[in-house]
Structure 1
Amino acid sequence: MNKNIHETAIIAAGAKIADDVKIGPYCIIGPQVSIDSGTVLESHVVVEGETIIGKKNYIFSFVSIGKVPQDLKFHGEETRVVIGDNNKIREFVTIHRGTEDRFETTVGNNCLIMAYVHIAHDCMVEDNCILANGATLAGHVYVEEYAVIGGLTPIHQFVRVGRHAMVGGASAVNQDVVPYTLAEGNKARAAYINITGLKRRGFTEEEIKNLRESYKIIFKRGLKLEEALVQLKEKFPDDKNIDHIIAFIKKSKRGITR
């Protein structure tokens, strides 16, 4: 018996568990699960389906990962969950595997997923994101790097949350949140640039100044969106952050929180 695995844990034959993984009491690990080195599972964690968990994750009690999605169109196809490295996944989080849309649900590296968060089928959460207590991602949601989603906030299917954006608590998001912005309300609207977050992450004064001006062009001057994008490109031809905003908006299918 591996001294790092509690005697009450149930580990199915076929599961690939690194030697130093710690698995607490009453955990259940399915046969297609892979867990890499340095990861810790506290008590009563359930991991099923084809689920790949990377290195040095800390998964708290009563988390459920890899169960079938809550999608009536799902018919048992082979799908999976992929979780990167150095994530903290708090109590009662649920992460469901994908459907035939993407065939996987993914969480990147260095994320904090707080208690009672739900990450539904085919979602993509990039690196360094924070999902506060009770945030709910419906299917096919895409959260870019360094985004922060406040507590008790539902995100509609197919919505994207841009990099370095912040969504306020108890908001309701049914359109894309533009990168670098702060959105809040029910339904969520863009409020301003996420200045505090950008400063914490080392953005220069010049970068923040440009993003402030981009916000005014998009949201405050009464321009049609197409006109705003043209102005952004003309005014900031070499700004990588503005380029990302333009590309993000052009790809939007649900519109933006304007």
Structure 2
Amino acid sequence: MNQPLAYIHPQAKIARNVVIEPFSTIHKNVTIDEGTWIGPNVTIFEGARIGKNVKIFPGASISAVPQDLKYKGEETETFIGDNTVVREYVTVSRGTDDRDKTVIGSNCLLMAYVHVAHDCIIGDNCIIANAVQIAGHVTVQDYAIIGGSSAIHQFVKVGAHSMLSGGSLVRKDVPPYTKAAREPLTYCGINSIGLRRRGFSSEKINEIQEIYRYVFLKGLNNSKALDLVELELAPSKERDEIINFIRSSDRGVMKGYSY
């Protein structure tokens, strides 16, 4: 049911049961899938690909031209996955020719005033709290939680199941399963409560905790710590994921806990 006061470009592809409220603008080369609700005063620019049962609240701007002086008008896209909620005044820029797209996964919650810049990849089931500012080319993996008013530097990676304290300044990569807080951003243990809620066993949580004792609490450099983890701890999906994340980090990982 489309309100007559909304503008929808005739070339936009809108599923029949999408609701678009008054004063919203849908540009050409946009697709919106079934069951999605577009609130009033939303602007959806070219290149947006919006999934099923998405809710976009008033004032949001989706797939705007990147805030990147290198952008030369190339055709790029923005993807928003099924069941994601985009709250008031969120801004999401479309990609550049680096990744050609900006992606927000399924079942995510982006709270009010979040900014997701060009070429970001946000995984599934992520929660990004109010006024978080995410610079370009950032990767946030599945189930990450980012506290309000945090700022994430360009090209940073935030690992799966991690949790960042509100107000964090994220200049380095945050490995999976960890909690991060303080300034400068510091390892504060593993996200054990989140892991339990998602069905991780006590044995698995203890295994992850033991890996990070090597990485962050024994005073070793990352190379030596990971070599010892491989040598002394049994292989597992989580162990290998942590090792690969840290070894592939371009910006380096956050610092270990210190008193």
- What's the counterpart of residue 188 of structure 1? 185
- Percent of pairs with identical residues: 47
Structure 1 segment 103-182 matched on structure 2, within 5 A: 103-182=100-179
**Offset from partner CA, 1:176-208 (integer Å, 9 cap, x none):** 001000001232111111111111111101111
Offset, 1:19: 0.1
Distance in structure 2 (CA, Å) of the matches to 1:41 and 1:69: 22
- What's the counterpart of residue 83 of structure 1? 80
Report the 3-state secondary structure (helix = DSSP H, G, I; strand = E; otherwise coil) of the residue aligned with 1:248: helix
Give yes or no for contact 1:173–1:186 (8 Å, CA) kept in 2.
Answer: no
The one of 197, 203, 225 equivalent to 2:194 is 197
Distance in structure 2 (CA, Å) of the matches to 1:187 and 1:34: 41
- What's the counterpart of residue 7 of structure 1? 4
Distance in structure 1 (CA, Å) of the matches to 2:244 and 2:235: 14
When normalised by structure 2's length, the TM-score is 0.97
Distance in structure 2 (CA, Å) of the matches to 1:121 and 1:187: 25
- What's the counterpart of residue 26 of structure 1? 23
- Alignment pair present for 1:242 and 2:215: no
Distance in structure 2 (CA, Å) of the matches to 1:186 and 1:46: 36
When normalised by structure 1's length, the TM-score is 0.97
Offset, 1:212: 1.1
Q: Give unpaired runs (5+ residues) of structure 2.
A: none
Distance in structure 2 (CA, Å) of the matches to 1:69 and 1:129: 22
The one of 40, 43, 50 equivalent to 2:40 is 43
Distance in structure 2 (CA, Å) of the matches to 1:187 and 1:30: 42
* RMSD of equivalent CA atoms: 0.8
AA aligned to 1:147 is A
- Alignment pair present for 1:213 and 2:192: no
AA aligned to 1:190 is Y
The range that moved more, 193-202 or 16-25, is 193-202
Q: Give unpaired runs (5+ residues) of structure 1.
A: none
- What's the counterpart of residue 222 of structure 1? 219
